[in-house]
Amino acid sequence: MRRNILIACLGLLAAASVAPRAAAADRVTGQPFATRSEVIAPHAMAATSQPLATQIALEILRQGGSAVDAAIAANAALGLMEPTGCGIGGDLFAIVWDPGTRRLHGLNASGRSPRALGLEEFRKRGLTSIPPFGVLPVSVPGCVDGWFELHAKFGRLPMDQVLAPAIRYAREGFPVSELIAHYWQLGVAARADQPFFLETFTRDGHTPAKGELWTNEALARTYETLARDGRDAFYRGDLARTIVRTVQDAGGFLAAADLAGHRSEWVDPVSANYRGVDVWELPPNGQGIAALQILNILEGFDLAGLGFGSPGHVHAFVEAKKLAFADRARFYADPDFARMPVAELISKEYAAGRRARIDPERAARSVEAGNPALREGDTIYLAVADRDRMMVSLIQSNYRGLGSGVCPEGLGFGLQDRGELFTLEPGQANTYAPGKRPFHTIIPAFVTRDSEPWISFGVMGGGTQPQAHAQIIMNLVDFGMNLQEAGDAPRILHWGDSEPTGEVMTDGGNVALEQGFPYATRRALTQMGHRLVTDVGSFGGYQAILLDPEQGVYYGASESRKDGQAAGY
**Domain locations along the chain:** 51-266+378-421
- Grouping H, G, I as helix, E, B as strand and the rest as coil, residue 264 is coil
What is the predicted pLDDT for the residue at 17?
34
What is the predicted pLDDT for the residue at 497?
77
The mean pLDDT of 81-86, rounded to a whole number, is: 95
CB atoms closer than 10 angstroms to residue 518? 14
Q: Are strands 103-109 and 265-267 parallel, antiparallel or unpaired?
A: antiparallel
pLDDT tens digits, one per residue of 277-315? 999 999 999 999 999 999 999 999 999 999 999 999 999
pLDDT higher than threshold 60 for residue 23: no
The mean pLDDT of 458-475, rounded to a whole number, is: 92
Q: What does the alpha-carbon distance between residue 17 and residue 5 come to, in Å, rounded to a whole number? A: 22
Q: Computed from CA positions of residues 251, 216, 220, 440, in that sequence, does the dihedral angle turn out positive or negative?
A: positive
pLDDT more than 70, % of the chain: 92
What is the predicted pLDDT for the residue at 20?
35
Q: How far apart are the first and last CA of the chain?
A: 58
pLDDT higher than threshold 70 for residue 376: no
The mean pLDDT of 90-100, rounded to a whole number, is: 97
What is the predicted pLDDT for the residue at 369?
86
- Grouping H, G, I as helix, E, B as strand and the rest as coil, residue 58 is helix
The mean pLDDT of 523-527, rounded to a whole number, is: 97
Could you tell me if 18 and 277 are in contact, meaning their C-beta atoms sit under 8 angstroms apart? no
pLDDT higher than threshold 60 for residue 29: no
The mean pLDDT of 93-98, rounded to a whole number, is: 98
Q: How far is CA 239 from CA 215, 277, 405, 407, 432, in A?
A: 20, 44, 18, 12, 27
pLDDT higher than threshold 90 for residue 51: yes
pLDDT class for 26, splitting at 50, 70, 90?
A: very low
**Secondary structure element (H or E) that encloses residue 256, with its range:** helix 256-260
What is the predicted pLDDT for the residue at 469?
97
pTM > 0.85: yes
What is the predicted pLDDT for the residue at 15?
33
Could you tell me if 397 and 377 are in contact, meaning their C-beta atoms sit under 8 angstroms apart? yes
The mean pLDDT of 409-431, rounded to a whole number, is: 95
Q: CA neighbours within 13 Å on the CB side: how many for 251?
A: 7
pLDDT class for 353, splitting at 50, 70, 90?
A: very high
What is the predicted pLDDT for the residue at 19?
34
Q: What does the alpha-carbon distance between residue 244 and residue 557 come to, in Å, rounded to a whole number? A: 40
The mean pLDDT of 211-224, rounded to a whole number, is: 98
pLDDT class for 475, splitting at 50, 70, 90?
A: very high
pLDDT class for 340, splitting at 50, 70, 90?
A: confident
**Secondary structure element (H or E) that encloses residue 383, with its range:** strand 378-385
Could you tell me if 472 and 299 are in contact, meaning their C-beta atoms sit under 8 angstroms apart? no
Active-site positions read 379
What is the predicted pLDDT for the residue at 55?
98
Task: Please name which of 452, 456, 445 lies closest in space to residue 545, comparing C-alpha atoms.
Answer: 456
pLDDT higher than threshold 60 for residue 441: yes
The mean pLDDT of 230-256, rounded to a whole number, is: 98
What is the predicted pLDDT for the residue at 463?
80
Q: What does the alpha-carbon distance between residue 435 and residue 522 come to, in Å, rounded to a whole number? A: 46
Residue 535, judged by CB atoms within 10 A of its CB (0-12, 13-18, 19+), counts as exposed
The mean pLDDT of 188-217, rounded to a whole number, is: 95
What is the predicted pLDDT for the residue at 370?
81
Chain-wide mean pLDDT for the chain?
91
pLDDT higher than threshold 80 for residue 501: no
